[in-house]
Amino acid sequence: MMENQKVRPASVIGPLGAPMALADLPSSDTKRWVARRKAEVVAAVHGGLLTIGEACDRYQLTLEEFASWQRHSDRSGLQGLRATRIQYYRDQYAREQKF
């Protein structure tokens, strides 16, 4: 019997709208995290391709770091994951919350 077992999808929809499988994810030794790669990892977790724990282990991320990627992606999309614009989007979100 398959109680308490989840079947993982073979692929999920990536941040650019194309199907994405485990083989399409960034390498586990990635050092330079551009917005697209961050979004791919967030999409893989959101779609069930990886668990949060697996993603953090695979990419040596802290839970807080992954959670910030997810939060920025949810709030501002791919642009919110850009390192050069984090402060801009953070300030914009704070202004929106005041009203």
Is the pLDDT assigned to residue 95 strictly greater than 70?
yes
**Residue matched to tokens 């993603």:** 55
Q: Dihedral angle at the C-alpha atoms of 60, 63, 67, 68, nearest 10 degrees?
A: -70
Instruction: Map residue 19 onto helix, strand or coil.
Output: strand
pLDDT at residue number 58: 97
pTM across the whole model: 0.79
Task: Decide if 48 contacts 9 (C-beta within 8 A).
Answer: yes
Quick one: pLDDT band at residue 77, thresholds 50, 70, 90? confident
pLDDT in tens, 4-47: 557 889 999 999 999 999 999 999 999 999 999 999 999 999 99
pLDDT at residue number 6: 74
Q: Which residue has the higher pLDDT, 7 or 86?
A: 7
pLDDT in tens, 41-73: 999 999 999 999 999 999 999 999 999 999 989
Is the pLDDT assigned to residue 2 strictly greater than 70?
no
Supply the DSSP symbol for 22.
G
Supply the DSSP symbol for 83.
G
